[in-house]
């Protein structure tokens, strides 16, 4: 059923909508020129087993995750702090995380497209008090997205989450939330729906220095800061 939806999805041109800031937007254009999505910073943490992502989900992220893993093959957990971003970029990153059997961890907030990246984790852990935010599929395009296309997009999205083990009824509620709104389920709801595998006090995770990172808002020049890509930190530096 999902495969058939994807064929319809592609035929209607929705893949292009997912992929960039316009119907004709290419991956590279979305990555380089998409000022609607905050830049991100990837930081390999001193323990060598964790990688922190702070910022928007943009194209190029999957490639940068791959570079980080090559630089530090011991990475097992991805720390996520993000307001969301491009669904296509999130799917690419999710595929990479799933393929490599990595764990995911949220210590502040992971919302919108970020949740797709999160549920790709083998172990999916939430710091006590952290939040996951959900809503209907959303797009940036030159014209309003017709209701039928949004319905198809949400059906495909549900299929992706369900394939990661998430309860279908939970996802039905998630996609019922308007794109301009957001739903923050309780930890109990997230556990019951298999969105998370556990809640932690954080003592069993490496400190990032970004426990309450401020990814939201813009800098003093009115634009999001340029992505710093991968910063490799080592002990003593």
Q: Concatenate the DSSP letters of all residues of 143-167 into one string.
A: SPPPHHHHHHHHHHHHHHHHHTT--
DSSP 226: P
- Measured distance CA(48)–CA(42) in Å, rounded: 13
pLDDT digits 0-9 by tens, 110-163: 999 999 999 999 999 999 999 999 999 876 554 555 667 778 888 988 999 999
**Whole-prediction pTM:** 0.75
Residues 11 and 154: beta-carbon distance below 8 Å: no
Q: Which helix (H) or strand (E) holds 218?
A: none
Note whether residue 169 is domain-resident: yes
**Is position 145 within any domain?**
no
Asked whether the predicted pLDDT for residue 93 surpasses 60, the reply is yes
Count of domains in the chain?
Answer: 1
The token duo for 237 is 């530096």
Q: Which residue has the tokens 């064929």?
A: 7
Query: Is 65 buried (19+), middle (13-18) or exposed (0-12) by CB count in 10 A?
Result: buried
Using pLDDT thresholds of 50, 70 and 90, give the confidence band for residue 207: low
Place of tokens 């961890």: 105
For residue 79, what are the domain limits?
Answer: 38-136+162-210+226-232
Domain membership of residue 86 (yes or no) is: yes
Do the domain assignments include residue 70?
yes
The domain that holds 52 is classified in CATH as 3.90.226.10
Query: Is 153 part of any domain?
Result: no
Average pLDDT over residues 156-183: 94
Least confident of 10-19, 61-70, 79-88, 189-198: 10-19
Q: Is residue 179 part of a domain?
A: yes
Bridge-based pairing of strands 198-200 and 124-127 is: parallel
Could you tell me if residue 196 is inside a domain?
yes
Please check whether residue 107 lies inside any domain of the structure. yes
Residue that wins the pLDDT comparison between 37 and 220: 37
């Amino acid at each position: 059923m999902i495969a058939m939806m994807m064929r319809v999805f592609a035929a209607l041109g929705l893949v292009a909508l997912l992929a960039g800031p316009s119907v004709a937007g290419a991956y590279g254009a979305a990555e380089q020129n998409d000022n609607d999505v905050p830049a991100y910073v990837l930081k390999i943490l001193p323990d060598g087993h964790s990688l922190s992502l702070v910022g928007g989900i943009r194209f190029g992220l999957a490639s940068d995750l791959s570079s980080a893993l090559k630089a530090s093959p011991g990475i097992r957990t991805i720390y996520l702090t993000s307001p969301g971003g491009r669904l296509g970029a999130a799917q690419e990153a999710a595929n990479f995380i799933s393929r490599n059997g990595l764990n995911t961890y949220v210590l502040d907030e992971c919302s919108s497209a970020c949740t797709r990246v999160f549920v790709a984790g083998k172990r999916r852990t939430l710091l006590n008090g952290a939040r996951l935010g959900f809503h209907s599929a959303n797009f940036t395009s030159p014209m309003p997205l017709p209701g039928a296309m949004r319905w198809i997009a949400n059906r495909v999205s549900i299929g992706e989450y369900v394939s990661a083990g998430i309860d279908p009824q939970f996802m039905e509620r998630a996609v019922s939330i308007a794109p301009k709104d957001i739903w923050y389920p309780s930890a109990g709801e997230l556990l019951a729906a298999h969105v998370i595998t556990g809640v932690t006090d954080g003592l069993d995770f490496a400190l990032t220095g970004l426990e309450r990172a401020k990814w939201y808002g813009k800098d003093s020049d009115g634009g999001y800061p340029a992505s710093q890509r991968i910063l490799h930190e080592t002990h003593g530096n």
